[in-house]
Amino acid sequence: MHFRIADTFTSSLAKLTAQEQKAVKMTAFDLQMDPSSPGLSFHKLDRVKDPNFWSVRVNADIRLIVHRTGANLLLVYVDHHDDAYRWAARRKIERHPTTGAMQLVEIRERIVEADPASENRPRADALSPEVSRLSAGARLFGNLRKYELMAFGVPEDWVDAVRDATEDTLFDVIAHLPQEAQEALLKLAVGEKPEVPEPAIADADPFAHPDAQRRFRVLDNADELARALDYPWEKWAVFLHPEQRRFAERQYSGPARVSGSAGTGKTVVALHRAVHLARRDGKARILLTTFSAALANALKRKLSQLTGNEPDVAKRITVKSIKGVAYDLHAELFGQPNIASPTLIRSLLEQAASSVDGHGFSQPFLAAEWSEIVDAWQIDNWENYRDVSRLGRKTRIGGKQRETLWTIFADMRARLAARHVSTWADVFGRLTAHYRKTGRPPFDHAIVDEAQDLGVAEARFLCVAVGDTSEGLFFSGDLGQRIFQQPFSWRALGIDIRGRSHTLRINYRTSHQIRSQADRLLPASVADVDGNNESRAGTISVFDGADPEILVFDSLDAECEAVAEWLRLRHAEGVLPHEIGVFVRSQPQLTRARAALRHASVPFVELSDKVETEEGKAALSTMHLAKGLEFRAVAVMACDDEVLPLQERVEAIADLADLEDVYNTERHLLYVACTRARDHLLISGVDPISEFLDDLAR
């Protein structure tokens, strides 16, 4: 007998108390071990549409709903007695006649149309220009025939309701449909053409269909069941979208990248890719890395959810920040590196510049030229600096100017050597040279999350860290979230992802309203230096929510009071403290956020590279530390003029040609902060406000 679990079961389990969950898990384990045990109290449900629905008694009040046939036992739902029975009475499990996928279908009842005045009704312009031009009450899918809708996974009973759906009722209707049908209809609504699945094969197992596997999972042993039940809110660890699975398990002929806007599951693909490779090859040495220690720790926690019952798989995967990897390898090969602090580097560069009279270069220009060209590319002689292309640097310099600049940078290198200190680029450079010479790389595969923030030195190191295996490098990232590094050519370093770059377009984390409003901060598509294009067109969110709020105040006190009241309202609606994030642009604005949290009596923890989120406390941090996090409610405060974009960065620009990149990364920061929100988003500032808020509100 196949023992399966449905995603609806894990969702319903998460809503119970800890004591109730414990009792449910014990019953679930008993069912898996021996479903025929006389100690289990099965009751066949009557007055239900599906004759295979049974209940199993957990205690006096809690009931499991299971779907029981000769070959399968499926855990479907759990709740208090009456609620569990009512849920089962409105559901059935059946094979879709067109797609062949097993579906959990809601029995169609009368759909109450959305109140046009409701604050949760999606705005027309949040869907697409095509939808917004429709006349009131116009049917979105009235031109599609029954067989066309069923080809997208719409259950037969729901075809008429779908064909009658309008702009106002779309989200009310699709909430009752299987996920593949929801995604297809949303794509149609925004003017995209969904992929039509292959027709059903008559004798194929309906549970083996890719769409069925996103909601039903076979659990082969008690360890797998324990993993699914211990993390009921983390569906990604058990149920994977077919597109995500395809990219995670595909065999590539060279370096590959998965992109997509915030919330589309890029990190999920990276994690599953690492586990897939470790399972496929029992001898593989796999690196899962990213640019920050905090994000690496988050990856490590999530990886434990995927490999909790597979210690042999877990031990083959190294999870560290890219600098952490470099530090450890350097210590092993050459001894612990003595890293120069940013303050020391700035001081030495000032000294080197002062030793050359009349050069005319500003300190910001020299700092950028050093970090982005000389140090990043590990240039150590005049000939290499003379010939370097300076890709990404917009200020042009002539031959004589280069000679003068090299005099300064050569002096800078001598000063670093005299103090026996290294930059991080030096560390990566030594490792790159070593592995290129020996041909004995430390890893077989490297999976890099948030790859848009990789630097030149790190990318060069990765090229030799995995040897020459054709699919050794796998990247996930979003150019729209680049906040640290200057763009550079990956292809010039040997990382050519052309033909192996894929974009995810289903947003699971952020509501329709928040995603569509945040997208206004960015262009419809972004291209990298090598011409690889990442388009946001066609991205859809699979759930609806409240409109984001943008509030402008006359004083700091007024902002503090309003944000505190907003936080109190979220708490009254059931949002817990650890489901709240509050972000500001930089350290000086943290004071304003602290005041609002204290005024709202919300406990909070201040995040840093060493301090992470904490159960029972809201998270407070700068926007730079928001990467990889998600919350039900997010407040982005202090979005004032001269704070966003940060005036210090604008004033430090040595050439107006660099202004565009500063503005882009500042926009990316706000985008990252806003898209941490799932259901509720507040953006606030004191007049005069950031010009970016005008873009958000347009």
Number of domains in the chain: 5
Return d(Cα 99, Cα 687) in angstroms, integer.
Answer: 55
How large a percentage of the chain has pLDDT more than 90? 64
What residues form DSSP beta bridges with 75? 5, 66
Q: How far apart are CA 186 and CA 183, in angstroms?
A: 5
Contact (Cβ atoms closer than 8 angstroms) between residue 525 and residue 259: no
State the CB neighbour count (10 A cutoff) for residue 436.
Answer: 13
200 part of a folded domain: no
CA distance 633 to 249: 34
Tell me: do 60 and 128 sit in the same domain: no
Residue 82 CB coordination number (10 Å): 10
Rounded Cα–Cα distance for residues 425 and 378 (Å): 7
Residues 553, 514 share a domain: no
- The residue from 509, 540, 571 where one domain ends is 540
Least confident residue range of 484-488, 497-501, 564-568: 484-488
Query: 430 and 313 in one domain?
Result: yes
- Look at residue 457 and tell me if it is in a domain: yes
**pLDDT at residue 108 in the model:** 85
Query: Looking at 169-309, which runs of residues are DSSP E strands?
Result: 216-218, 256-260, 286-290
Q: How many CB atoms sit inside 10 A of residue 533's CB?
A: 12
* Whether the predicted pLDDT of 111 surpasses 60: no
Residues 411 and 449 in one domain: no
338-375 pLDDT, tens digit per residue, is 999 999 999 999 999 999 988 888 888 899 889 989 99
Predicted confidence at residue 123, as pLDDT, reads 40
Q: Are 541 and 264 in contact (CB under 8 A)?
A: no
Residue 513 pLDDT exceeds 60 = yes
DSSP structural state of residue 589:
G
Residue 194 belongs to some domain of the structure: no
Q: What is the pLDDT of residues 604-646, one digit of tens each?
A: 999 988 888 999 999 999 999 998 899 999 999 999 999 999 8
pLDDT tier at 470, thresholds 50, 70, 90:
confident
Determine the Cα–Cα distance for residues 379 and 289; give it in Å rounded to an integer. Answer: 26
Q: What DSSP string describes 120-157?
A: TSPPHHHH-HHHHTSPTT-BSSTTS-HHHHHHTT--GG
The 10s digit of each residue's pLDDT in 37-65 is 888 899 999 989 999 999 999 999 999 99
Rounded distance between C-alpha atoms, residue 431 and residue 425, angstroms? 10
Note the pLDDT tens digit of each residue in 276-313.
Answer: 999 999 999 999 999 988 889 989 989 998 887 788 99
Say whether both 509 and 550 belong to one domain: no
Which residues does 160 contact at the CB level (< 8 Å), separation at least 6?
A: none
User: CA 184 → CA 133, 222, 587, distances in Å?
Assistant: 21, 35, 43
3-class DSSP state of 282:
coil
User: Structure pTM?
Assistant: 0.84
* Mean pLDDT, residues 665-684: 95
311 DSSP assignment: H
The residue assigned the tokens 């082969």 is 220
pLDDT computed for residue 670 by the predictor: 95
End residue of a domain, out of 540, 574, 599: 540
Asked if residue 288 lies in contact with residue 319, where contact means CB atoms within 8 angstroms, the answer is yes
Q: Are 127 and 190 in contact (CB under 8 A)?
A: yes
What's CA 125's distance to the chain center, in Å? 25
203: in domain: no
Tell me, yes or no, whether 277 and 160 share the same domain: no
Average pLDDT rounded to a whole number, residues 566-583:
96
Task: Find out whether 540 and 506 touch, Cβ atoms under 8 Å.
Answer: yes
Q: What is the pLDDT of residues 420-442, one digit of tens each?
A: 999 999 999 999 999 999 999 99
pLDDT for the residue 133: 36
Structural domain includes residue 196: no
* Structure confidence at residue 286 (pLDDT): 96
Task: For residues 156 and 146, give the distance between their C-alpha atoms in angstroms, rounded to a whole number.
Answer: 8
Token output for 438: 């020996």
In a domain, 144, yes or no: yes
DSSP string, 521-574: GS-SEEE-TT--EEE-TT-EESS--PPPEEEEESSHHHHHHHHHHHHHHHHHTT
Q: How many CB atoms lie within 10 A of CB 198?
A: 10
For residues 613 and 625, give the distance between their C-alpha atoms in angstroms, rounded to a whole number.
Answer: 11
- The whole domain housing 476 covers 242-334+426-540
The last residue of one of the domains, among 369, 397, 421, is 421
Which one has a higher pLDDT value, 317 or 363?
317
Average pLDDT, the chain: 89
Q: pLDDT band at residue 677, thresholds of 50, 70 and 90?
A: very high
Same domain, 518 and 567: no
Q: CA 442 → CA 180, 276, 436, 463, distances in Å?
A: 41, 19, 11, 12
**What is the SS3 assignment for 205-244?**
CHHHCHHHHCCEEECCCHHHHHHHHHCCCCHHHCCCCHHH
Does residue 508 share a domain with residue 602? no
What average pLDDT does range 259-267 have in this prediction?
Answer: 91
> 140-144, 304-308, 407-411, 599-603: which has the minimum mean pLDDT?
304-308
Q: Is residue 384 part of a domain?
A: yes
164's torsion region: left (phi>0), alpha (psi -120 to 50) or beta? alpha
User: Which residue reads 């690889």 in tokens?
Assistant: 532
181-192 residue pLDDT tens: 999 999 898 888
Residues 37 and 75 in one domain: yes
With H, G, I as helix, E, B as strand and everything else as coil, classify residue 356.
coil
Structure tokens at 137: 């009450």
- Residue 456: give its domain's CATH number: 3.40.50.300
Domain assignment present for residue 386? The answer is yes
Q: In terms of domains, do 314 and 348 share one?
A: no
- 502 by DSSP, 3-state: which? strand
Specify the pLDDT at position 114: 42
Residue 83 in tokens: 């609620």
Asked whether residue 119 carries a pLDDT value surpassing 50, the answer given is: no
Q: What is the DSSP letter of 280?
A: H
Alpha-carbon gap, residue 271 to 503, rounded angstroms: 17
- pLDDT at residue 536 in the model: 79
Lowest-confidence segment of 115-129, 255-269, 411-425, 621-635 by average pLDDT: 115-129
**What are the tens digits of pLDDT across the range 85-101?**
999 999 999 999 999 99
- What pLDDT does residue 105 have? 96
Q: Do 294 and 436 reside in the same domain of the chain?
A: yes
Mean pLDDT for 9-34 is 93
Q: Do residues 62 and 148 both lie within one domain?
A: no
Tokens representing 528?
């990298």
